Amino acid sequence: MFDKQLFRLARRQHGVVSRQQLRDAGCSPTRLTSSVSTGWLVRVLPGAYLMAPSPDTYEMRCAAINIWLDGDGFISGRSAGRLLGLARMRKRPIEVTLARRHKRISRAPWVAVRQTAWYDGTEDRQKHNSITVATPARMLFGLAADLRDRAFENAADDAWNIGLIIPGEVDIYLDRHRCRGKDGVARLERWLEKAFEMERPAQSMLERDLINALCDAGLPEPIRQFPLGLSDDAITVHLDIAWPDIRLAIEPGHNRFHRGVDASERDTLRDLACGELGWDIIRLTQQIKHDLPVFAQQIRRVYLQRLRDIPLSRRGPIS
């Protein structure tokens, strides 16, 4: 039905082609109608067609949205986060941002269109895997306006951890757009204040979930990625979750990071070196994720006991 060049084009576009691309390949209106009726083409959105036997995937639908928008907008919000690799970003609806002057409103239930006067096609969007998406900074600004505090902090930490953003660059972006979206500005500022106190982001989703559970259990918010210099080795380690004033730290590690004799030995030697400085290290595995509130209460009891055991005069500095 179609030539190889058109199929190669469809593969680059996650299985979808535009009506104009079909015409350029010699597909007449009559042939287009016939191809739809026989199932060789499936209309996904106005002007966007899925070529058989390409699968119906998330990326395909995002590519179809790009064709439908025809350069007028980009994938944004949680949908951009999902495409860029953030965890726990929902699949539906696929969020789209376009300039307010355009009237491309989709009737597809899986597309959510947000129109805004704040639209800069050169600064706010980029190509990712052949799909036009929000830049990481614009995506993060949008998430700050849409998500609650805890969910946003998790998303921002995740973006930092996988190298999508750097707090300093986000701060510069925020300064340029501080007048837009008051909710997003305040939430983003709060996260940046915490981020600038740390040298590194939280290293895993488990770490962030545990911190949330500890705060729910009534513990004071710990310092994440606390730098501790080990006197003997003249090196600095970063403790995942720490209360420096009572020298208590938690290391919630994914099982795959602590397998094997060498890894176990390194962890033991590191914990002993911390112990020589008066630190108590609690090392946990991924198994705690199945009952975080229970473990959080146990850690709370350890924290309170540590608080009783260490006199005020012997407590360490907070930073």
- Residue 256 scores a pLDDT above 60: no
Same domain, 191 and 116: yes
Same domain, 241 and 140: no
Q: Out of 163, 195, 227, pick the residue that ends a domain.
A: 195
Same domain, 184 and 112: yes
Same domain, 178 and 82: yes
User: What's the pLDDT band for 11 if we cut at 50, 70, 90?
Assistant: very high
For 174-208, how does the pLDDT look when each residue is reduced to its tens digit (9 = 90+)?
988 877 656 689 899 999 988 887 777 776 778 88
Is 141 among the domain residues? Answer: yes
Provide the CB-side half-sphere exposure for 113 (13 A, CA). 18
Percent of the chain with pLDDT over 90: 55
Spatial CA neighbour of 49 closest among 71, 73, 23:
23
Is 274 among the domain residues? Answer: yes
Q: Out of 148, 168, 195, pick the residue that ends a domain.
A: 195
Same domain, 186 and 212: no
Please give the Cα distance from 296 to 303 (Å, whole number): 10
Structural domain for 294, as ranges: 205-314
Q: For the chain, how many structural domains are there in total?
A: 3
Same domain, 249 and 282: yes
Same domain, 156 and 45: no
Q: Out of 166, 195, 224, pick the residue that ends a domain.
A: 195
For 294-315, how does the pLDDT look when each residue is reduced to its tens digit (9 = 90+)?
999 999 999 999 998 887 656 6
Is 319 among the domain residues? Answer: no
User: What's the pLDDT band for 53 if we cut at 50, 70, 90?
Assistant: confident
Same domain, 177 and 211: no
Selected residue with higher pLDDT from 100 and 60: 60
pLDDT of 255 reads 41
For 202-223, how does the pLDDT look when each residue is reduced to its tens digit (9 = 90+)?
767 788 889 989 999 999 989 9
pLDDT of 258 reads 45
Same domain, 278 and 213: yes
User: What's the pLDDT band for 61 if we cut at 50, 70, 90?
Assistant: very high
Same domain, 141 and 168: yes
Selected residue with higher pLDDT from 206 and 245: 245
User: What's the pLDDT band for 140 if we cut at 50, 70, 90?
Assistant: very high
Same domain, 173 and 68: yes
Burial class (CB in 10 A: 0-12, 13-18, 19+), 236: exposed
> What mean pLDDT comes out for the span 155-180?
89
Query: What is the SS3 assignment for 28?
Result: coil
